[in-house]
Chain A
């Protein structure tokens, strides 16, 4: 071992003890580390790289800087590399020795970056999560308040009183009369349907049910049904020609089942939904 190396080792040991005392002491997060007040920085990594340690192994104090005086040149340190200057934690940082695990840096105000707490020596496999020189480590979070589910403060809704939309709200019949045995619309019937069509164009929520009837006897019941269907279809076509969409109309051919009233007619039932 050369003299220079011996001196370096001795100095490293002395400084390491001092550093250990400093970092293992009750330094609060608000205290300035030694040397930082003087504005002088010692980078122990320079010494760490200077030669083998007492146990014959290479010193691994990289990244642990101490402040005494500025280094004559930029030290070769992993933490001085691009990763250290960035906010990204190194993927596999070098394991640290127990005496040099103090990450306190004068470049990082304690109030902003308290850094990892002084910790007991860890096995070499311990992986630190944040490099010492990064200033982006968030302060320890305060104790999280207990998570409480949001509770709606407004009172529960009362039962709605509106009727279901699918139900028919109101029926209203308009009667269209036909000549006996005829399926053709009279002028009066056309005028009535025209008025209905205008109403449907304005009120898009109504639809029509065309209930058609025709006179007949027991023997001619099938003919009466067919005639009633033809009458309903005639009325429907007239409304379609007036611009009413076909799906807003339903046809019911009821034949002789007039249930009172004139036999030759179509009842147009307005259904609102």
Chain B
């Protein structure tokens, strides 16, 4: 039986996801006009966030709300806060690639206590509540059991025009690329983390992420038995935007590999 708070998040995500799935079917019709398609996607993104905001505040009016599209909509009670990315994988959506998700996390006193990642096209709902495990729909999730980097499939995200430090990223890519069985770049950090929790990937790293990209996914990975840290081994992923995740064997190996490739500006003592 799902916790009540997950049901609230599930309903909001499915409502938004239903509209996104419908809009996704129309994106291809708009490809002739790049600007038109971009505007259309932006409108779909905002509409999805409005739907999520409506559903969540209807159920928990006292909670604060931080959305990717609308920024801080409400401060709330100062204890609870929804952290929402209504469309993680916007570029995929814009280009007609079926790899995007709705991500909703609930933060309580600075800790993420519940999270869901919902792919409306596959109808996969990854969810977790702190202390109760991670699930894909109603199936318990567990990270993979691979122990060696040489047999691991690693997901990542890379900088793009005007976003992120490409030089730093390429250093880390060079450090990892020769050590693993494969690297995948799907364009949705929320789904990357959810797939890691489901054992589809063995590791994941990315820099310059935003809190709404990863808040839910980090909890889902941890509840599925995985480990998540920043590149220095600290716990400031939500603030720094650095994420290194993996199963219990691969995460530390991957983090060390990244650290060797790029000693980086972050040191563990500064991380929380």
What range describes how many residues of A lie at the interface? 20 to 34
Q: Which of the residues B72, B110, B163, B239 comes within 8 Å of A250, measured between beta carbons? A: B163
| Residues 36-76 (chain A) with a chain B CB within 8 angstroms | none
Of the A-B pairs whose beta carbons lie under 8 Å apart in the complex, a sample of 24, sorted by A's number, is A166-B160, A207-B162, A221-B269, A222-B271, A225-B272, A226-B110, A226-B239, A234-B72, A239-B71, A240-B70, A240-B71, A241-B71, A245-B42, A246-B70, A247-B90, A250-B208, A251-B210, A251-B211, A252-B241, A253-B241, A255-B239, A256-B270, A257-B270, A273-B162
| CB-based contact B162/A271 at 8 Å | yes
A256 to B238, CA, bound (A): 16
Tell me whether B62 is interfacial, beta carbon within 8 Å: no
Residue from B160, B238, B239, B240 with most neighbouring chain A CB atoms (10 Å): B239
Contact (Cβ within 8 A) B72 A233: yes
CB distance from A74 to the nearest CB of B (A): 60
Q: Write the nearest CB–CB distance from B224 to chain A, whole angstroms.
A: 25
Complex Cα distance, B181 from A129, in Å, reads: 64
Q: Does B51 have its Cβ within 8 Å of any Cβ on chain A?
A: no
Contact (A246, B162) CB under 8 Å given A222-B272, A229-B211: no
State whether the Cβ of B69 lies closer than 8 Å to any Cβ in chain A.
Answer: yes
Indicate the size class of the contact surface on chain B: 20 to 34
Segment 61-80 of B: residues with Cβ below 8 Å from A: 66, 68-72
Q: Enumerate chain A interface residues (CB-CB to B < 8 A).
A: 165-166, 168, 207, 218, 221-222, 225-226, 228-229, 233-234, 236-241, 245-247, 250-253, 255-257, 271, 273
Nearest-neighbour CB distance to chain B for A132, whole angstroms, equals 54
- Contact assessment for B161 and A225 in the assembled complex, using a CB-CB cutoff below 8 Å: no
User: What 5 pairs across the A-B complex have the smallest Cβ distances?
Assistant: A222-B272, A237-B71, A240-B71, A237-B72, A273-B162
In the assembled complex, how far is the CB of residue A254 from the closest CB belonging to chain B, in whole angstroms?
A: 8
Contacts of B241 in A (CB 8 A): 251-253
Nearest chain B CB to A191's CB is how many angstroms away?
Answer: 18
B240 touches A253 (CB 8 A): yes
Is B92 in the interface zone, CB < 8 Å from A?
no
- Which chain A residues border B57 with CB–CB below 8 Å? none
Q: How far is the CB of A204 from chain B (nearest CB, A)?
A: 10
Instruction: Tell whether A225 pairs with B162 under 8 Å between CB atoms, given A233-B71, A241-B71, A255-B270.
Output: no
Secondary structure dominating the interface of B:
loop
User: Nearest chain-B residue to A237 (Cβ)?
Assistant: B71
Say yes or no: B161 contacts A273, CB within 8 Å.
yes
List residues of B whose CB falls within 8 A of some A CB.
42, 66, 68-72, 90, 110, 160-163, 208, 210-211, 236, 238-241, 265, 269-272
Residues in B whose Cβ lies below 8 Å from that of A229: 211, 238-239
Task: Give min CB distance, B69 to chain A, whole Å.
Answer: 5
Provide the bound-state CA to CA distance between A130 and B162, in Å: 68
Q: Report the Cα distance A253→B210, complex, angstroms.
A: 10
Residue of B nearest to A230 (CB): B72
Q: Contacts A168-B162, A256-B270 given; 14 further ones with Cβ under 8 A?
A: A221-B270, A221-B271, A222-B272, A225-B240, A226-B239, A228-B239, A229-B211, A237-B70, A238-B71, A246-B70, A251-B241, A252-B208, A253-B239, A253-B240
Chain B residue at minimal CB-CB distance from A247 = B90
Alpha-carbon distance between A247 and B240 when the two chains are bound, in angstroms:
18
B71, B160, B210, B240, most chain A CB atoms within 10 A: B71
Please indicate which of the listed interface residues B42, B72, B269, B271 has the most CB atoms of chain A within 10 Å of its own CB: B72
Task: Select B236's contact among A225, A239, A246, A271, beta carbons within 8 Å.
Answer: A225
Interface pair A233/B272, CB less than 8 Å apart: no
How long is the Cα–Cα vector from A228 to B241 in the complex, in angstroms?
13
**CB < 8 Å: which of B71, B161, B211, B269 contacts A166?**
B161
Which residues of B lie under 8 Å from residue A246 when comparing CB positions?
68-71
Residue of B nearest to A220 (CB): B272
Chain B proximity of A266: nearest CB distance (Å): 14
